Amino acid sequence: MKAERNWAANLRYGAERIARPRTPDELRQTLMAGGPVRALGSRHSFNDIADTTGTLISLADMPRDIDVSAETVRVSAGVRYGDLAPVLEQHGRALANLASLPHISVAGAVATGTHGSGDRVPSLAAAVRSVTLLTASGDEVTLSRGDVDFGGASVNLGSLGVVTALELDTEPTYRMTQEVFDGPRWDAILAELDAVTALGDSVSIFTAWRDDESADAIWVKRRISSTSVGIDEALLTGLGARPADGPRHPITGVDPAACNPQGGEAGAWFERLPHFRMEHTPSVGAELQSEFLVAREHGAAAIAAVRSIASTIAPLLHVCEIRTVAADDTWLGPSSGRDSVALHFTWHPDEPGVRAVLAELERALAPLGARPHWGKVFVRAGREIRDLYPRFDDFRALRDRLDPDGRFRNAFSRRIGL
């Protein structure tokens, strides 16, 4: 097989071949051919969660169905959020949240516990009503909300089968604004963290950890409604934050052309919730990413812990983003069972250097029960990971029932004890 890589080019897949079925029957035949197998999504993971020694199955050539009904939408697994959102908008519908980039597939994002931002908004997996998949034996299985095993279905780490379709909750469409404020002081942020994250429906704090006194910026995204009130100007003044004098990229100094409109200009939900436009390469492209989520009550302590090792982190860092995520009831979701604060790191593409820094970063966050994002780079393994999830053994039992021969197991799953 030729060298196949993920989108950031830090990972070369080690599979013997990539299959590209075009129909459900071809997918079933590929699965029934035997050997190790794994589904390959939009390749936006930074680790080997999707890799295998056998056959990678790309759904890129499968039909891209989007079936919108009154309150839900059923989508083929390979559909990307950026392709789904305009179709929903045409029907007057929307999703409650989106991740920071729309380029990711629905199935892959859900399977890894990907999230957006918001005190009251849980991860993307919380919108899932049902998951339909094909097992290694070619059998079709649908797990729906209310089923005893549904908690393991959405954030499934690619370990149960090849997901072919998902049903998602939708809501009436809405419009949003996005505003950026430069230079908030850390002492004020930490003293008023709950108020800061409540400035909007989705709030991000960006910092490169090169200034011990101030963060780089706060991005505030707000829904427009008949009950909307103005942004808390007094709080922003107390933070020492000032309105940006033009468009910003999350990474200071990078051209903001890839970013969605800012400056308070109203727009559709799917053109404000993601930081990046669908037609542009998100972030910087050549990069690594890590993310760790702690319980909400440990948020300020987690920020302080990272701040204490800022001089170690900063030389390898493009930017760090701090957001909040509401709790969900998935078994393996990084925000499962607890409102969370997420600390995201976009690194320079120096994997040995990043992994060395991650060892120190993870030690600093471990006492706070930090859970890694499943699709990004982290170094902890084994029981240190399993013990973070009360339903881990339940998920492993579900995996064993659906994949008794372990054909979907891979190096990643073995490292975390699956």
What pLDDT does 226 receive? Answer: 59
196/273 same-domain check: yes
Helix (H, G, I), strand (E, B) or coil at 224: strand
pLDDT, tens only, 241-277: 999 999 999 999 999 999 999 999 999 999 999 999 9
What pLDDT does 51 receive? Answer: 95
Identify which of 104, 81, 91, 112 has the alpha carbon closest to the alpha carbon of residue 271: 81
What pLDDT does 227 receive? Answer: 63
Taking 80 as the threshold, does the pLDDT of residue 295 lie above it?
Answer: yes
Q: How far apart are the C-alpha atoms of 214 and 173, rounded to whole Å?
A: 36
Strands (E) across 261-336 are located at 267-268, 288-295, 317-325
Q: How far apart are the C-alpha atoms of 77 and 132, rounded to whole Å?
A: 9
What pLDDT does 283 receive? Answer: 74
Q: Is residue 393 part of a domain?
A: no
199/297 same-domain check: yes
Q: Is residue 32 part of a domain?
A: no
- Average pLDDT of the segment spanning 121-127: 97
Taking 90 as the threshold, does the pLDDT of residue 44 lie above it?
Answer: no
pLDDT, tens only, 151-192: 999 999 999 999 999 999 999 999 999 999 999 999 999 999
81/163 same-domain check: yes
228/336 same-domain check: yes
CB distance 398 to 152 below 8 Å: yes
What range does the domain containing 181 cover?
Answer: 175-372
Place of tokens 């940006």: 244
Taking 60 as the threshold, does the pLDDT of residue 2 lie above it?
Answer: no
What pLDDT does 8 receive? Answer: 84
181/233 same-domain check: yes
Residue where a domain stops, chosen among 348, 372, 396: 372
What pLDDT does 169 receive? Answer: 98
203/243 same-domain check: yes
Identify which of 238, 233, 232, 220 has the alpha carbon closest to the alpha carbon of residue 184: 238
What pLDDT does 341 receive? Answer: 98
Helix (H, G, I), strand (E, B) or coil at 396: helix
- DSSP symbols for 329-345: --SS-TTBTS-EEEEEE
What pLDDT does 380 receive? Answer: 93
Question: Where is pLDDT greater, at 113 or 5?
Answer: 113
Q: Is residue 314 part of a domain?
A: yes
Count CA atoms closer than 13 A to 24's CA, side-chain side. 14
| 37-40 vs 55-58, strand pairing mode | parallel
Q: Give the count of domains, the chain.
A: 2
Taking 60 as the threshold, does the pLDDT of residue 1 lie above it?
Answer: no
Question: Which residue blocks in 13-94 are alpha helix, DSSP H?
Answer: 24-32, 81-90
Signed CA dihedral, 140, 142, 148, 152: sign only: positive
Q: Is residue 183 part of a domain?
A: yes
Taking 90 as the threshold, does the pLDDT of residue 7 lie above it?
Answer: no
Taking all residues of the chain, what is their mean pLDDT, rounded to a whole number? 95
264/341 same-domain check: yes
pLDDT, tens only, 62-72: 999 999 999 99
Residue where a domain stops, chosen among 353, 372, 391: 372
Q: How far apart are the C-alpha atoms of 77 and 84, rounded to whole Å?
A: 11
Q: What are phi and psi of 371, to 5 degrees?
A: -105, 135
CB distance 12 to 74 below 8 Å: no
Q: Is residue 219 part of a domain?
A: yes
Which CATH number does the domain housing residue 211 bear?
3.30.70.2520
- Average pLDDT of the segment spanning 71-92: 96
221/276 same-domain check: yes
Which range among 10-14, 371-375, 379-383 has the greatest average pLDDT? 371-375
Count CA atoms closer than 13 A to 285's CA, side-chain side. 4
- Average pLDDT of the segment spanning 356-365: 96
Q: Is residue 106 part of a domain?
A: yes
Taking 80 as the threshold, does the pLDDT of residue 284 lie above it?
Answer: no
Q: How far apart are the C-alpha atoms of 377 and 379, rounded to whole Å?
A: 7
Q: How far apart are the C-alpha atoms of 227 and 324, rounded to whole Å?
A: 23
